[in-house]
Amino acid sequence: VEVEVDIETGQVSVIDSYVADDCGKALNPIAIHGQTNGATVQAIGWTLYEQLHYENGRLANGNFADYNMATADAVPMLRGGFVESNDPNGPYGAKGASETAILPGAPAIANAVYDAIGVRITDLPITPEKVLAALHAKQQQGASHA
């Protein structure tokens, strides 16, 4: 994963991604590709956008007008592939595909943010506000050591 971080606004943009999946025997490569892309977009959403907000114990953003999620303009051209193996327990040697594409998304994006700005953010989603706060804290820490 490669990201760009706007240090003025705190906005994180995923600009490149490559995802590979071990699916056993690929019975339907086009479906695997589509499912893996969908899982990758979900991972981007969970990592950078999606968050439930509660006010007085009630969900405040429980509709598409108020719930922030990744849209097409937030997703780069997705690249990927799959690794074939023969799973003796699956039908025709196949096994589940794309579910595992969600799991490494958050740590991969968080590590890319760290590589870009030198600040590790461990609380999801990685919002512009959290990025700016982390950069400010880093700047303050640097000033106190000067």
- Asked about 4 being catalytic, the answer comes back as no
Q: Say which of 2, 8, 50, 99 is annotated catalytic.
A: 99
Concatenated DSSP letters for the chain? -EEEE-TTT--EEEEE-EEEEEEES-S-HHHHHHHHHHHHHHHHHHHHT----EETTEES--STTT-----GGGS---EEEEEE---TTSGGGB---SHHHHTTHHHHHHHHHHHHHS----SSS--HHHHHHHHHHHHHHHHHT-
Query: Which residues are identified as catalytic?
Result: 99
